[in-house]
Amino acid sequence: MKPSERSEIKALLDRKVDEYNRSSFIESDPISIPHQFSDPLDQEIAGFFAAIFSWGNRTTIIRKSQELMQLMGNAPIDFVRNASQTDLRSLSAFKHRTFNATDLLYILDFMKRHYAKHSSLQMFFQGRDVKDGLSAMHSAFFEAEYAPQRTRKHIGTPERGSACKRLNMYLRWMVRKDEGGVDLGIWQQPEISQLMVPLDVHVHRIALKLGLMKRKIADWRACEELTATLRTFDPSDPVKYDYALFMLGIEQKNASG
């Protein structure tokens, strides 16, 4: 890429970040779900489910996330710690695309065990980079002998080459904090500079079109390649450009019909 082209692309991305990294973005995005809570643990749990549900139509994602929060009494950490068998049975009909009650009940089972011993999911990233932290979290999630095989597809790991789009988005929500007010910034680990771009097929397509990357497969290696490029634009906060790339993808999709 020529220096002049690089400068033009960076200017375009910076404009889009300024346009979308603001409070007006929250209402129409799944990040609105954790923003409904003030307790950091409620935000952490609500954000996890909203991120895991984040594939497909954003309106549907928000609606299903709201539905789950209501089933949990709009008190996520209290539900995780204290739900009765009757409470859990009320979740038996929950479904979002391929995510069903088996997946939900197992994740709640893991969370109950986890929060009985640890104060936050953040602990997986203390002293680790994002790749190792995601791998450690995945291992902990599925260490139980009774862990359903089907649930693994909802919680990616770099060890299997997954781009971990939804989990990297979740980390952006938990870690980033700036004057835009969109991301929550309730975790100190990993550092903002260590975050990895949430790479899905739309972001991948836009990044290829702009010449930000060359890898044709939207996997973990592609995530690393794109993030490395974005770090040359802003080493301290590379994933702020997720706003620009994601919304450029939305704009392109809308323009094409």
Give the phi and the psi of residue 96 in degrees, each rounded to 5. Answer: -140, 105
In angstroms, the first-to-last Cα distance of the chain is 30
Q: Residues 136, 105: contact at Cβ < 8 Å?
A: no
* Residue 165: closest CA among 216, 206, 204, 199: 199
Q: Residues 99, 50: contact at Cβ < 8 Å?
A: no
Q: Is the pLDDT of residue 257 over 80?
A: no
- 199 contact partners, CB below 8 Å, separation of at least 6: 163, 165, 168, 207, 218, 222, 223, 226
* pLDDT (0 to 100) of residue 206: 96
pLDDT tens track for 10-58: 999 999 999 999 999 999 999 999 999 999 999 999 999 999 999 889 9
Query: For residue 130, what are the domain limits?
Result: 3-255
The model's confidence at residue 252, banded by pLDDT at 50, 70 and 90, is confident
The model's confidence at residue 251, banded by pLDDT at 50, 70 and 90, is confident
Whole-structure pTM over 0.85, yes or no?
Answer: yes
* Residue 190: closest CA among 126, 146, 117, 240: 126
pLDDT tens track for 138-175: 999 999 999 999 999 999 999 999 999 999 999 999 99
* pLDDT (0 to 100) of residue 255: 66
* Three-state secondary structure readout of the chain: CCHHHHHHHHHHHHHHHHHHCCHHHCCCCHHHCHHHCCCHHHHHHHHHHHHHCCCCCHHHHHHHHHHHHHHCCCCHHHHHHHCCHHHHHCCCCCEECCEEHHHHHHHHHHHHHHHHHCCCHHHHHCCCCHHHHHHHHHHHHCCCCCCCHHHHHHCCCHHHCCCCHHHHHHHHHHHCCCCCCCCCCCCCCCCHHHCCCCCCHHHHHHHHHHCCCCCCCCCHHHHHHHHHHHHHHCCCCHHHHHHHHHHHHHHHHHHCC
- 194 contact partners, CB below 8 Å, separation of at least 6: 129, 130
The Cα–Cα gap between 155 and 142 comes to 10
The Cα–Cα gap between 71 and 91 comes to 7
The residue type of 177 is K
pLDDT tens track for 221-243: 999 999 999 999 999 999 999 99
Q: Is the pLDDT of residue 256 over 70?
A: no
User: How many domains does the chain divide into?
Assistant: 1
Q: Residues 200, 182: contact at Cβ < 8 Å?
A: no
